[in-house]
Structure 1
């Protein structure tokens, strides 16, 4: 399956190093060419000779040892790699990579590679949940580094919680997925809307919502990975836009978003409306700050255009995907939107469920199509939900 592919595995110091031996063995059975780089700490847990025997390539564990070839080794391995796997990845090594520190052979080679990097964290639960570690992980995710989430259970230290290295089977599955994923959306042009909209009241105040844009940005990132030409129309977020976008259009108000979608509609085959667009806007805008007084402030609101509804009237044979974030009557409300807005399908989620909706990295969705058929999904990372949505889009494009 991986014949002709080169995987460079970086092994950092932790009790889970022994599982990396199994990972190397499994990759060799899939006929991958495997090279191993170990940190000094890693060699305290498993001898380099073990990895050398399993990989059938010499192991690098010292940046300044006598070279085995005339190549500059960190540059040579960086160029050879089709994928760079770090397993186990300690808090220390994650922090180094996130902050551009290259002080050993492992971090130096990662800095020099242009291959995809897959990181499999393993550490104590409290370390994994530490705000600094999570910030470093999120920084790397925004830079298009891939992660295999650690598992929950009993840790080597005796604690119970999240932090166990993912199983070798799961890690290898992720490697295979990254190396063999088909460009099944290549040549397809997709609009994705993301984030909130902002409706100004005066120069200081505005109306908005709790959307962070994570779902829309995840869809955009996965669509690009699958070969699509993506136009991302985004409200204000704190997220780093995916690399290799065809176009990024930053907007603020619902009217801005409507105009951006219409301007880009003709050249795109698919529109995925994951943005949380404000339904209402202030009837009038005050160009000076409204001063506080002893009276109550009443703000009259007008309806904004329903962007999905407007697109649905003119979409022709384009594919239109909507979202429904509800707190009650989820199925009934979502089905009504599919019919009213001429959607091909809708992604519905109940905001009252833990791990679903705004500001979290997971989602719990139901997909409802034009015939009223419903597919329910368990709680998944938003990146996984993104691929579910894109799989459905792909199936419709092939009809």
Structure 2
């Protein structure tokens, strides 16, 4: 018999936010139960150990094998002499009921314990975090609102709101549920990295902007790579792709907004990385209306924006600050020299340089040179996800005396 279920290989592949957390997932007989294996696997990807308990009726909707596949442990459907409800309470940090039917919600609110799910919930109630994720017809949801409101008043009890669509209270998305669980019981990491990402935009008038084609892919790859290594990651995102749900993200648009937000939250970060394509210039004057398109010519005078890296270094003298330097159609030696000049000018710890003529904005691949204050010059090419991992490895080497702190 195989002792280690293959599902265990997923553990921590996205982050360590739920590392060493044990969670029991209770499944009840809504059609939304078909989503439960995906939920359990997502919890595992963030480091959790997951156990599954089900009501008898669930087997008509989703098989035990599918649920075992999802959590990697044997599924429990009844309380035996092993007193599973007490053992799960003693062993686990939290319980999630996904999906939660009108029946199970009513029984928990009325303190009825007649199956393994509501009996286990009664043990957790007000003692350890209990997450209830409703799924049912809209009329049934209205009928049990009194019970839902009663449960909301309970300590450590969280009702995750459904999506009201097509006359149904549809179960909340897996991302919403896992994100909320991480928010409430997730690990607090020792080291925090702040990533500035995406392309900023500067307003010409109320509808037109000057911007660039940055996709945000590199910043997202870095955010994910740092998460996997056990860092707390926060992002400031302008235009482009948005970081995944488990990374706290602040939305900005202009270079000034990005700088102000970085100054505000950067004080709590150990490392600040700016891979954003930040506008160097902005219109000297911005119209408070939409400029007429009937004009034959339009002249726009530009003025320089503050250099974000320069301003961050002025305020955060002792933090690790890393910048990116992009050029177009230059020789490698010139690219490296320009990166070194930037590192020296702004007193940066590391600069990642690339030539956009080889891989333009939005490409999944890139070719970069890492230059650090430790006299490192390292050329890397490949997928942005692979490059991000290499960058994280080099960032952790910046302070070799503190490598243990960085998880090396």
- Please give the TM-score of this superposition, normalised by the length of structure 2: 0.53
Partner of 1:119: none
* 1:190/1:271 contact within 8 Å kept: yes
Residue in structure 1 matching 2:354, options 346, 349, 354: 349
* 1:325/1:357 contact within 8 Å kept: no
Unpaired stretches in structure 1, ≥5 consecutive residues: 10-66, 82-142, 144-184
Partner of 2:224: 221
How far 1:295 sits from its partner (Å)?
Answer: 4.5
Question: Could you say if the C-alpha distance between residues 394 and 207 of structure 1 is closer, same or farther in structure 2, counting changes exceeding 3 Å?
Answer: same
Residue in structure 1 matching 2:388, options 380, 386, 389: 386
Partner of 1:314: 315
Question: Could you say if the C-alpha distance between residues 232 and 294 of structure 1 is closer, same or farther in structure 2, counting changes exceeding 3 Å?
Answer: closer
Partner of 2:67: 75
**Equivalent runs, 1:186-335 vs 2, <5 Å:** 186-237=189-240, 239-245=241-247, 247-293=248-294, 295-327=296-328, 328=330, 329-335=334-340
**Equivalent runs, 1:42-57 vs 2, <5 Å:** none
| Structure ID, larger Rg | 2
Residue in structure 2 matching 1:368, options 361, 367, 371: 371
How far 1:290 sits from its partner (Å)?
Answer: 1.4
Question: Could you say if the C-alpha distance between residues 294 and 74 of structure 1 is closer, same or farther in structure 2, counting changes exceeding 3 Å?
Answer: closer
How far 1:4 sits from its partner (Å)?
Answer: 5.9
Partner of 1:396: 398
The Cα offsets for residues 216-263 of structure 1, whole Å up to 9 and x where unpaired, read as: 0111111112211111000022x3422322x21100000000001000
How far 1:204 sits from its partner (Å)?
Answer: 2.0
Q: CA RMSD in A?
A: 2.3
Q: Distance in 2 between matches of 1:194 and 1:4?
A: 43
* 2:7/2:71 contact within 8 Å kept: no
How far 1:6 sits from its partner (Å)?
Answer: 2.0
How far 1:373 sits from its partner (Å)?
Answer: 3.5
Question: Could you say if the C-alpha distance between residues 240 and 194 of structure 1 is closer, same or farther in structure 2, counting changes exceeding 3 Å?
Answer: closer
* Stretches (4+) displaced over 6 A: none
The Cα offsets for residues 178-232 of structure 1, whole Å up to 9 and x where unpaired, read as: xxxxxxx952101001100010100121100110100001111111122111110
Q: Distance in 2 between matches of 1:280 and 1:7?
A: 52
SS at match of 1:230: strand
Question: Could you say if the C-alpha distance between residues 357 and 315 of structure 1 is closer, same or farther in structure 2, counting changes exceeding 3 Å?
Answer: farther
- Please give the TM-score of this superposition, normalised by the length of structure 1: 0.54
Q: Distance in 2 between matches of 1:4 and 1:257?
A: 50
Q: Distance in 2 between matches of 1:240 and 1:259?
A: 20
Question: Could you say if the C-alpha distance between residues 322 and 240 of structure 1 is closer, same or farther in structure 2, counting changes exceeding 3 Å?
Answer: closer
How far 1:296 sits from its partner (Å)?
Answer: 2.5
Q: Distance in 2 between matches of 1:290 and 1:192?
A: 35
Q: Distance in 1 between matches of 2:7 and 2:313?
A: 48
SS at match of 2:207: coil
Unpaired stretches in structure 2, ≥5 consecutive residues: 9-58, 74-174, 176-187, 402-408
Partner of 1:164: none
* 2:273/2:323 contact within 8 Å kept: yes
Equivalenced residue count is 230
Q: Distance in 2 between matches of 1:192 and 1:269?
A: 11
**Equivalent runs, 1:10-49 vs 2, <5 Å:** none
